[in-house]
Amino acid sequence: MSSAAGDNLELIRGGYAAWNRGDIDGVVTILDEQVEWHGHPRLPEPGPYFGRDAVKGWLDDLRGVWEEIEIHPLAVAESGDNVVVLVQISGRGRGSGVEVQSGIDAHVWTLGGGRATRMRWLQGDKVAEGLDLAPDEVRSVGEEALAERLPLLLAGAEGE
């Protein structure tokens, strides 16, 4: 793995660590000033959003409806300027106290100049389709298998 590749992976991992600490400003620091952000298509107001300030507002709003919310990175792989993270989200709603756990989604990050320039959130069924796996198989995909199947997922994600 090249130094730049390691830097990209560490940058993205640092963003998830910041989110899980409740540090939205820490998440925003990994983003390029002109970042393009596409949230989960089934969440309210998924975007796209352009620029750090717009993304920070969206993240603040998203976090605001949850008493607790954590993103669990399950597998991370890289191809060129892209880092893909399979994630599962768990949380407890503010006010309702209802606990939820998501399916397996993918965050597709594009990097340049030491920052994330684009993030696309693919919902679980698109991830399974893109990896050419059954939905229940996605949970057990390790980083090596994800890396091998990454070109398939990225090719499908370009149409998103």
Whichever domain contains 93, its CATH number is: 3.10.450.50
| pTM summary value | 0.90
Tokens 């599962």 -> residue: 88
Question: For 119-158, how does the pLDDT look when each residue is reduced to its tens digit (9 = 90+)?
Answer: 999 998 888 888 888 888 888 888 888 888 888 888 877 7
Question: For 89-109, how does the pLDDT look when each residue is reduced to its tens digit (9 = 90+)?
Answer: 999 999 999 999 998 999 999
Distances (CA, A) of 24 to 30, 59, 73: 10, 7, 17
Task: State the greatest distance between any 2 C-alpha atoms of the chain, in Å, as a whole number.
Answer: 46
Residue 90 structural domain: 3-157
- Report the distance separating Cα 83 and Cα 9, nearest Å: 7
Tokens 């899980």 -> residue: 20
The DSSP output letter for 58 is H
Structural domain total, the chain = 1
SS3 46: coil
